[in-house]
Structure 1
């Protein structure tokens, strides 16, 4: 038997028991490490006890001495044993540590303790499959000019110095910020320069940054209802008091009393194409909202997520550009105009906030995705972005017209198409007899992916019953058959 100070029978037995061998067995080195760790934590190898020499233990277990040496080195590195001139000894552990290891309770079904705010951030949707027809918010990915994008990537990679592989400007690559500023001034009428732009992880990152910069827990934020679920998650993630503001055919409706009874710190709105109803915020309401927000010391978040796709008439200018020094933080994204996986968004700060907050932003963020940003900048500057938008406008105009015609011809149940001629989706309001949640569940089984309008509402009402139908990822020729299938689902539901 091995000559060791571990004279108790449990310790001797532990060290002399053979290791498992054969198919399916763990490597012997890992087996030995696990065996010793468990024995030390359980107290079967007492503190201060000297372990056998590597040579003696290798002979006893009939394994390589190197295997024992490596195991001892790992245990020493992790603090289980101490190696000195007298050999390898078990490290002393506190009584609390030994008790915790010895009496560890088995796993139970209780959920782990998490921040209370997580209870408010609950998804009302299933995981999206953007490949299914009628998915809202998904662009025509098969029509994206991948070859042009690859060429722009190659040029950006060749031109970029080795330093571009490190952290970049926390506010984003200067080339992309300048390209975005020029584009927004011309196409959206936004008052900005590159120094006021921050590149973010999509629009969601921009919304979260607005919350970080401008609010404290418990502040009040107004949210369109029904509205963008990502904004609700960002507000709840900041422990804000979220107040729903209803939307009608002219956009967000703010009762006069709300300015005094529930004064906001943030107001989220999608004025150019309300999500998901498609309403356009009227000029009267825009100007009134700007003036009232200024007087109340509130900030407006203008989410301009898909305004580039205006299918009828001239583009609607951004609300941010209506007044000098408007109290507006302008949020944009390339997820709809390019592709969602790009995860590039941007935030245009008012000058006063940019002057004060940019030093903090530089400390809060780390520059990344530099090659993607440089590629996007080149894509804008060489005209590829504008050409791509022109092609997509024509395509989406055709697809929206086909969806409208299919709804009028084949849906066959009482409904109302909401919103204007813009974006990547249409919203269809249904009579209460047709449950949007049930229709969506059945439609998904049949390979379609519309969304339930009621799932976008904080406080659903009867008029929030309907379908949000995407046409960005669905060919025009498919809509007659798809809408007929929706009719069958709805008719079967009512008959049932």
Structure 2
């Protein structure tokens, strides 16, 4: 029998684990076990006698005895008259694995938008990242501590559907006052965030092959949720007034779901006009469609008061309103909410209770306390001023250093802005070069559905986590990145 692989594994393990002081008998056991599982030592193979293997490896015979005994206890080997033999328990690899084939993901996730390299790194201009160092952590910590002091055994179990009534009441009151949403606590469903809410909508409100309208370009998370539910996506263009369907869209591809970000279109930044909002409600009602209004950062409108939500423009509007605390507080909180039409709320809440994980009641009670104590509103006011300052600093810096290469577009709100590239280079190339220079410059074309990228060539800048004092040198880096991308393109064409 050839023990070359096992011997090399043993020596490598011995060298790597020396600092961990793992006994040699355990290392030998692990190496033999791994060799059997991988098929390096086949079923029915007789292992070397303990004295012979100990001599070959230069270890004590007791170490070999220990390894053989452990393998026997677990059923990997049998001690027989002719020696220790590897058991026949179906460890041989299947023909597919032996041929080098690997399992593949389902077709429904083939077009899922996946984060690019570095998308989770805390690098400048990553969209959707708030100013975490400005969050009032001490006040939040006191709310969490109070919630835990008040908690008992009941709060440690799986949460009943109505256990978060305090938070739902706080959310409903805030939305009525600040967003013009028509709701009460019974219409509010607490979720794990916007993505969780989108998944629920896609699964509970539409059948496979139903049509979902997507803003194009638009939010990749909504696209992912709809694709994973086997919905047919129809790209709807966006103009300065928001989602812009024409009569042919309503006639040829009537939707079951319509996804919109009307307060600050993601990623272009357009604000949907009142005329467009009212028309969309009327058309959706006539078509029997549901509007999913994602109000992800409406609190951060830099000029004037935040616009009222689409949901509140008409009685019993066919709108499901989504919100999240990830952007306005911090992403790790993982708490969001939905406001459901009154007639839909009971059935949807019951279904969601069967599909969603429940728990984290203490964090929800702490959040309700944070809102009711006024900390949430004060934090929003501070962040609104801070993000307005950072956006202005970024626009000024881009104007000084990248003028002629980029043109900023979109409404003045939120935590990101988009900019059109005014030079003949692909935004994906600029994004790739930017990553090597420590910048997250999201390519605008990546927000489009496949085959619809024509006319969208630009960059998306998330400025929420970037101090105003850093904008000037960062804008100079952006200029360098674009120039390098242009030079790379020129070299390829030579």
Shorter-chain TM-score bucket reads 0.7 to 0.9
Contact 1:219–1:241 (Cα < 8 Å) also in 2: yes
Q: Which residue does the alignment assign to 1:483?
A: 475
Q: Which residue does the alignment assign to 1:157?
A: 148
**TM-score for both structures, normalised by structure 2:** 0.83
**2:408 is aligned with 1:421:** no
Query: Which of residues 459, 469, 476 is equivalent to 2:461?
Result: 469
**Alignment partners' CA distance in 2, 1:481 and 1:113:** 44
Q: Which residue does the alignment assign to 1:255?
A: 246
Contact 1:201–1:345 (Cα < 8 Å) also in 2: yes
- Map 1:279-358 to 2 at 5 A: 279-358=270-349
Contact 1:439–1:490 (Cα < 8 Å) also in 2: yes
**Alignment partners' CA distance in 2, 1:261 and 1:119:** 26
**Alignment partners' CA distance in 2, 1:238 and 1:63:** 54
Q: Which residue does the alignment assign to 1:198?
A: 189
Structure 2 residue runs of 5 or longer lacking an equivalent are 2-9, 16-23, 47-60, 79-84
- Cα–Cα, structure 1 residues 43 and 423, in superposed 2: closer, same or farther, change >3 Å? same
Flag the structure with larger Rg.
Answer: 1
Query: Which of residues 108, 113, 130 is equivalent to 1:117?
Result: 108
- Alpha-carbon offset, residue 358 of structure 1: 2.1
Q: Which residue does the alignment assign to 1:368?
A: 359
**Alignment partners' CA distance in 2, 1:44 and 1:414:** 69
**TM-score for both structures, normalised by structure 1:** 0.83
**Alignment partners' CA distance in 2, 1:31 and 1:284:** 71
- Map 1:67-216 to 2 at 5 A: 74-75=74-75, 98=90, 101=92, 107-123=98-114, 125-170=116-161, 173-216=164-207
- Alpha-carbon offset, residue 350 of structure 1: 1.0
Q: Which residue does the alignment assign to 1:377?
A: 368
- Alpha-carbon offset, residue 363 of structure 1: 2.0
Q: Over residues 90-146 of structure 1, what are the superposed CA-to-partner deviations in whole Å (9 max), with x where a residue is unaligned?
A: 9x98xxx74x73766654543313321121214263341452112211111111111
**Alignment partners' CA distance in 1, 2:469 and 2:370:** 31
- Cα–Cα, structure 1 residues 26 and 373, in superposed 2: closer, same or farther, change >3 Å? farther
- Alpha-carbon offset, residue 40 of structure 1: 12
Contact 2:124–2:439 (Cα < 8 Å) also in 1: yes
Contact 2:218–2:448 (Cα < 8 Å) also in 1: yes
Contact 1:171–1:367 (Cα < 8 Å) also in 2: no
Contact 1:440–1:449 (Cα < 8 Å) also in 2: yes
**SS in structure 1 of the partner of residue 343 of structure 2:** helix
**SS in structure 2 of the partner of residue 391 of structure 1:** helix
**Alignment partners' CA distance in 1, 2:216 and 2:25:** 56
Contact 1:170–1:361 (Cα < 8 Å) also in 2: no
Contact 2:405–2:423 (Cα < 8 Å) also in 1: no
**Alignment partners' CA distance in 2, 1:217 and 1:207:** 15
Contact 2:167–2:367 (Cα < 8 Å) also in 1: yes
- Cα–Cα, structure 1 residues 40 and 148, in superposed 2: closer, same or farther, change >3 Å? same
- Cα–Cα, structure 1 residues 107 and 316, in superposed 2: closer, same or farther, change >3 Å? farther
Contact 1:432–1:462 (Cα < 8 Å) also in 2: no
- Cα–Cα, structure 1 residues 108 and 376, in superposed 2: closer, same or farther, change >3 Å? farther
Q: Figure out how many residues of one structure are paired with residues of the other and give that number.
A: 458
**SS in structure 2 of the partner of residue 464 of structure 1:** coil
**Alignment partners' CA distance in 1, 2:471 and 2:163:** 41
Structure 1 residue runs of 5 or longer lacking an equivalent are 1-9, 11-19, 46-60, 82-89
**Alignment partners' CA distance in 2, 1:481 and 1:471:** 14
Q: Over residues 42-68 of structure 1, what are the superposed CA-to-partner deviations in whole Å (9 max), with x where a residue is unaligned?
A: 3569xxxxxxxxxxxxxxx75799988
RMSD: 3.5
- Cα–Cα, structure 1 residues 189 and 72, in superposed 2: closer, same or farther, change >3 Å? same
Contact 2:199–2:225 (Cα < 8 Å) also in 1: yes
